[in-house]
Chain A
Amino acid sequence: MKKAILYVNQFFGQIGGEDKADYAPEIKEGHVGPAMEYAKKLDAELTHTVICGDNFMGSNTEEAVETILGMLQDREFDIFLAGPAFQAGRYGVACGTICKAVKEKFNVPVVTSMNVENPGVEMFKKDMYIMQGGNIAAKMRKDVKAIVTLANKILNEEEIGCAEEEGYFARGIRRMVWRQDEIPASERMVDMLVKKLNGQPFQTELPIPKLDRVPIASAIKDLSTAKIALVNTGGIVPVDNPDRIQSASATRWGKYDIRNSEALKSGEFKTIHAGFDPAAADADPNVITPIDALKELLKEGEYGSLHPYFYTTVGTGTTQAEAERMANEIVPYLQEDHVDGVIMVST
């Protein structure tokens, strides 16, 4: 029989509540908490339950992930399951984080479950199957059943249907399928048309993502007194990448002091962006973050002053939601220093 391992947090792992959220990772043989419910219908033997406090995972992510991967290193398992995390934000992010790491390290399928409001959905839905779950723990049985149903299909190597049929969050993949009912496009077109003409609800087959348009800021009236800041998604960081910004699908950003630099030096700064050939930016980081030119223009009086830091993240693969969150974290620093204009360098 195939084997499975389950991840739960301190609460569902029966360690304790919020006061135990710092609980370090532990692996227990057999079934803890929801594992019993899983084991009823799962077409695999659930051999172990991994337990980790939500805060421990949130604050010491790297350590938590490494510890857990170490615990799994010598164990045989064909699938890794986590949660369900309901609407619990930290738990959802923890499930997503560990599932992603396990999938990458051991190349096994992973399945978890979260409520649509859980921030973990937006962060991880492209990386794994996240079942659309309930908002509260009272939905436990239903959510576990959903995870098990999909897990069994994976274990039995059955074809996995579309997100709508199977109940997982769409992973940003659109594929061609033959309709079971064989209704041709011409009839679907007429049906949609008549409904639209008569003001009845209809369902498009190509949903257009909502565009989040930002109004263009008003122009700077007097550049000679304006304070300018530099922000980039080109991944320019000090060579040791102190903020551990990811090379793709970034969730972290960094802030670097440029008060005493006339230019960024190769060997001190580099790019960690995985979406383009880094050779040019590594040889001269100013091609992405033009500190040299900005300092020069400052001397010439072209603009008033330069904000003392530049800000970096990586754009490639980064979700709009993550980008928005990072911007909301960066903007207060700019406002506090009364920055009038930002040069936003993309790559």
Chain B
Amino acid sequence: MKLELGNFHVNDIAFGEKLEFQNGLLTICKEEALNFIREDDRITEAELYIAKPGDDIRLCPVKDAFEPRVRPDGRGIYPGYEGDLVRSGEGVTYALKNCSVVVVGRHWGGFQDALIDMSGEGQKYTLFGELNNIVLVADTNEEFEKREQQKKNDALRRAGARLSEYIAGCVKELEPEDMEIFELEPMIKRDPEVENLPSVVYVMQPQSQMEEMGYNTLVYGWDCNHMVPTVMHPNEILDGALISGSFMPSSSKWSTYDFQNCPNIKALYREHGKTINFLGIIMSNLNVALEQKERAAIFVAQLANSLGADGAVVAEEGYGNPDADFIGCFAALEDAGVKTVGVTNECTGRDGQSQPLVTLDEKCDAIVSCGNVSELIKLPPMGTVLGELEALGRDGCSGGWPDDELLGPSVKPDGSIVMENNAMFCGDRVCGWSTKTMKEF
């Protein structure tokens, strides 16, 4: 399967008369774009902003982020979610690089919602502090969940997905500045030189713990809670087959942007044919009940053996309960003779003294660690807040609180904040971006 990603590098974004891309400048006609957003009559209020690295801007409550993309042949970029259900991962897709569409609640946040700072001390905590962001701040009529801690955020997340495709529409007829080629031959028909290299699968455990539909990661629009592990081509992940869910405390979350650009997949691609034979993806999930966890681990290990994998990488989108899926799957692969490396974050508490994962196994001897969800972060006020900062403390955000006997409220009257890393938007970057690690003190 061959995917050609045609890249357009966005150096700057501005509002203007019409949507266009020229010499690195992305211009957006705000009214037209907002009218497009308002086609979904659930959207009651919407505004667009631009937030660039270095801006004195704080975003909160952030729901999800998307890389603007379009397919010149007319297929949708999120098949089965927005647009027809067709296969992804092959053909040509155009992408606006160094740029993302970020969706922020106008008022209401929830458990999984989070924060981005575009400059200052807080900027380094999330990748999105380094990107040119088109920020959609909106509210909806989804009254049923307005005051719920767990929100599906369906209207907002769909608005972000739609907007990302709408904006990329301006490059549909243009020549990409460069092309990235992602091509993997069928697993069993490769060059002998490649086949002599140790073969590797990448096991993904996207978030799927909610029993009720509407909160979990989607694969081609299908709820990942309703599947057993299966084999996928890495190109499908890079090309919009997965849509991020709305459940996980945010530093552990993989945004849709993260799936589209997954660094772990790209790193394995780079090694393919040199040090490893990259077989592909085993798409697993995260479950609540022990039997579901064990079933998924059995499937993953069996698939790895059936595919002839010598090695595997397991990455989990979560912490706490999902650690049991992560460790269980890791151990099952080792028991099946597959040499495994894990990628995860940890929860060692505000004092750093708690057990890093809820369950441990000596077989898990190779782990890349990307951060501590409960690390305390104190940040000064920012000049502009897009959204509503109160959501950090008021609405049950996993990294914020209304009050605390030692720390006071998360949101101070002057706009400074104290929060756990949990509320940093996709902060731990277990999908591969993380330049953080964990050390003993």
Residue among A163, A174, A211 with max Cβ neighbours from chain B (10 Å): A174
| B242 at the A interface (CB under 8 A) | no
A173 and B360 within 8 A (CB):
no
Comparing B23-31, B260-268, B408-416, the segment that makes contact with chain A is B260-268
Task: Select B353's contact among A173, A189, A196, A210, beta carbons within 8 Å.
Answer: A173
Comparing B132-140, B181-189, B433-441, the segment that makes contact with chain A is B433-441
In the bound complex, residues from chain B placing their C-beta under 8 Å from that of A209 are 360
Task: Select A176's contact among B271, B341, B371, beta carbons within 8 Å.
Answer: B371
Comparing B110-118, B208-216, B283-291, B362-370, the segment that makes contact with chain A is B362-370
A175 and B365 within 8 A (CB):
no
Which residues of B165-202 are within 8 A (CB) of A? 198, 200
Task: Give chain A nearest CB distance to B155 CB in angstroms.
Answer: 33
| A295 at the B interface (CB under 8 A) | no
| A29 at the B interface (CB under 8 A) | no
A172 and B276 within 8 A (CB):
no
A182 and B263 within 8 A (CB):
no
Which residues of B58-96 are within 8 A (CB) of A? none
In the bound complex, residues from chain B placing their C-beta under 8 Å from that of A194 are 271, 275-276
Comparing A69-77, A95-103, A197-205, A257-265, the segment that makes contact with chain B is A197-205
A179 and B341 within 8 A (CB):
no
Chain A contact residue count (CB 8 A cutoff): 37
Chain A, residues 155-166, CB within 8 Å of chain B (1/0): the string is 000001011100
Chain A, residues 263-297, CB within 8 Å of chain B (1/0): the string is 00000000000000000000000000000000000
| A217 at the B interface (CB under 8 A) | no
Known A174-B440, A189-B343; judge A208-B364 contact (CB<8 A). Answer: yes
Task: Select B432's contact among A182, A185, A193, beta carbons within 8 Å.
Answer: A185
CA distance A174 to B438 in the complex (A): 6
A186 and B438 within 8 A (CB):
no
B271 and A185 within 8 A (CB):
no
CA distance A189 to B435 in the complex (A): 12
Which residue on A lies nearest to B434, using beta carbons? Answer: A185
A205 and B367 within 8 A (CB):
yes
In the bound complex, residues from chain B placing their C-beta under 8 Å from that of A185 are 263-264, 343, 368, 370, 429-430, 432-435
Interface of B is mostly: mixed
| A299 at the B interface (CB under 8 A) | no
| A1 at the B interface (CB under 8 A) | no
B341 and A189 within 8 A (CB):
yes
Chain B contact residue count (CB 8 A cutoff): 53
Known A174-B346, A176-B421, A206-B346; judge A186-B435 contact (CB<8 A). Answer: no
| B339 at the A interface (CB under 8 A) | yes
B439 and A197 within 8 A (CB):
no
Known A175-B352, A210-B362; judge A186-B437 contact (CB<8 A). Answer: no
In the bound complex, residues from chain A placing their C-beta under 8 Å from that of B271 are 190, 194
Task: Give chain A nearest CB distance to B250 CB in angstroms.
Answer: 15
Which residue on A lies nearest to B363, using beta carbons? Answer: A208
In the bound complex, residues from chain A placing their C-beta under 8 Å from that of B436 are 176-179
In the bound complex, residues from chain B placing their C-beta under 8 Å from that of A182 are 435
Task: Give chain B nearest CB distance to A312 CB in angstroms.
Answer: 26
In the bound complex, residues from chain B placing their C-beta under 8 Å from that of A176 are 371-372, 375, 421, 436-438
Which residues of A205-225 are within 8 A (CB) of B? 205-206, 208-211
A204 and B440 within 8 A (CB):
no
In the bound complex, residues from chain A placing their C-beta under 8 Å from that of B120 are none
A186 and B433 within 8 A (CB):
yes
Task: Select B433's contact among A164, A174, A184, A210, beta carbons within 8 Å.
Answer: A184
In the bound complex, residues from chain B placing their C-beta under 8 Å from that of A198 are 198
Task: Give chain B nearest CB distance to A89 CB in angstroms.
Answer: 24
B356 and A174 within 8 A (CB):
yes
Known A186-B432, A208-B365; judge A177-B437 contact (CB<8 A). Answer: yes
Known A170-B441, A205-B367, A208-B361; judge A193-B356 contact (CB<8 A). Answer: no
B441 and A174 within 8 A (CB):
yes
CA distance A75 to B157 in the complex (A): 64
CA distance A17 to B375 in the complex (A): 48
A162 and B369 within 8 A (CB):
no
**Mind listing 7 A-B residue pairs with CB under 8 Å?**
A174-B346, A174-B441, A176-B437, A176-B438, A179-B437, A186-B433, A206-B438
Besides A162-B439, A174-B440, A206-B438, 13 other A-B contacts (C-beta < 8 A): A162-B441, A174-B346, A174-B352, A174-B372, A176-B375, A178-B124, A185-B264, A185-B429, A186-B264, A192-B366, A194-B275, A205-B368, A206-B369
Top-6 shortest CB links A-B: A186-B432, A170-B440, A162-B439, A186-B267, A173-B352, A186-B263
Chain B contacts to A: CB under 8 angstroms:
124, 198, 200, 263-264, 266-268, 270-271, 275-276, 310-311, 313, 339-341, 343-344, 346, 348, 351-353, 356-357, 360-362, 364-372, 375, 421, 429-430, 432-441
